[in-house]
A = this chain, B = another copy of it.
Amino acid sequence: MKPEPPLPPFDFRRHGHAMVDWIADYLERAEQLPVESQVEPGWVRAQLPQSPPTHGESWDAVQRDIDRVIVPGLTHWQSPNFFAYFPANTCGPSILGELLSAGLGVQGMLWSTSPACTELETLMMDWLAEMLGLPARFRSPEGGGSQGGGVIQDTASSAMLCAAVAARERMLARDPRAGLLVAYASSQAHSSIEKSLRIAGIPASRLRLVPVDEHLAMRADDLRTMVERDRQAGLVPFLCVAAVGSTSTMAIDPVTRLAPICRDHAMWLHVDAAMAGVAAICPEHRWVTEGAELADSWCTNPHKWLAVNFDCDAFWVADRAALVRALSVLPEYLRNSATESGKVIDYRDWQVPLGRRFRALKLWFTIRHAGIEGLQRLVRTHVALAQSLADRMRADPRFIVIDPQRLGLVCFRLAAGCEATSALVRAVNRSGRAMISSTRVPTTPDGKERQVARVSIGQTRCTAAHIDALWNLLRDTLPP
């Protein structure tokens, strides 16, 4: 690269190669590092100058600070010993997709501001729909669908917000003087639902948390009762969110039984399959897409479990016009002939922000490098590891597995009680040898809320050896 005129010269090739090598080394040694960062609040900041430098510094000094300041302050999501939350897994090709996106530096708000950014994204969303066996209603017209299509959002939270706003606008278009809108989700639903609704102007008091059955899945009969009661009270049910794989325990709401209720009341049905949806790439797990043909929108996160860097949420809608009507504002300075021809997608109308990165590259690179087969192997490996861990827990009377154990998530509690479970999670994380997380949910046999530990298996490099080590760590950490 030529020296960039007003900025100091920068040897991009040399420093770029060094950064690639640093990352390769980091990913190799990540499993030796304490998974959860051990620093105290304020430590990272205290290592650095409190004011910006007047003059440019040498790159060597910058590179050194990565090891000195940044690494100790990381919680290592790319360690194969990371089992907390849900994963944010990656792979080499995906990292290079992010690099290329940054290097090209295009901003794909409109088709015309980089046709490749838009068209590759539409194609990738069609590829993904095919890989997951999603119904034609979510494909683009070019991909065998008709009125639907897919878009990459940063997160499932943003997908949720787009679905909520589209649902709201669809209802208001039918009746601009509709009364107070009400939404429904299970009591196990993700916090992003309450947050999205709040952003959309719908307070928590109008989000109904529908009771769940013993497997923590939404009760369809309760949904129907609640919707009917709300309608009788003059309220306007407009949105139901089904969790296919709840965050706490991978509980599965019965989409096919919720859909007729939504249809009867003209409610938007959004399916949030953020973690679980990716599993549909394997025929034996395709049950996670059950009912998708009845949903208005459906999302899953390749950035959780398809080896594609965060951020990459795949969000599909059955009626793109409903989404675009809700999110499109066309000012004069963005007018262009391609948009006016109606032949292209302008993805700015499918999301909250105006600008957008070229995120389809990382999907494209990952899918082409791994093939469907490779990605199936990834999912199957993790599912098998989770089963093997759950089996070992079931054989040990000190552990109580929360059943049904599903996909890559193993939830368990200790027979010794909630305090013991919490103490175990804290001790494991403090050890630095693994990181798990915890939640609180109603548990069998008595339905009482209890502390539950979560082991979420999905990191790209996680192997049987890491699960063996985790199992030993869990047992060694138990109180005597």
Is A415 in the interface zone, CB < 8 Å from B? no
A62 adjacent to chain B (CB < 8 Å): yes
- Using known A-B contacts A7-B374, A248-B332, determine if residue A155 contacts B463 with beta carbons closer than 8 Å: no
Contact (Cβ within 8 A) B115 A37: yes
Please determine whether B191 and A8 come into contact, CB atoms closer than 8 angstroms. Answer: no
Encoded as 1 (CB less than 8 Å from any B CB) or 0, chain A from 20 to 41 comes to 1111101110000000110101
A78: B residues at CB distance < 8 A: 104-106
Question: How many of chain A's residues have a CB under 8 angstroms from any CB in B?
Answer: 159
Interface of A, secondary structure class, is helix
Closest to A349 in B: B195
Question: A42-50, A222-230, A398-406: which one contacts chain B?
Answer: A42-50
Q: Is A195 a contact of B92 with CB atoms below 8 Å?
A: no
- Please tell me if A158 contacts chain B, counting CB pairs below 8 Å: yes
Nearest CB on B from A39, distance (A): 5
Taking a contact as CB atoms under 8 Å apart, the answer to whether A114 and B62 are in contact is: no
Interface residues of A in 181-195 (CB under 8 A from B): 190-192, 194-195
A98 and B17 CA atoms in complex are apart in Å by: 14
Cross-chain contact of A27 among B1, B156, B381 (Cβ < 8 A): B1
Q: How far is the CB of A373 from chain B (nearest CB, A)?
A: 6
Q: With contacts A91-B10, A367-B53 known, is A120 near B70, CB below 8 A?
A: yes
Query: For the complex, is A278 an interface residue (Cβ under 8 Å from B)?
Result: no
Q: A471 near B: Cβ within 8 Å?
A: no
Which B residues touch A13, using CB under 8 A? 20-21, 24
List 20 other contacts, CB 8 Å, given A42-B343, A75-B112: A7-B307, A7-B375, A7-B378, A15-B96, A19-B20, A20-B99, A23-B104, A27-B103, A42-B142, A54-B371, A57-B368, A62-B93, A69-B116, A73-B116, A73-B117, A99-B99, A165-B198, A199-B199, A247-B333, A303-B355
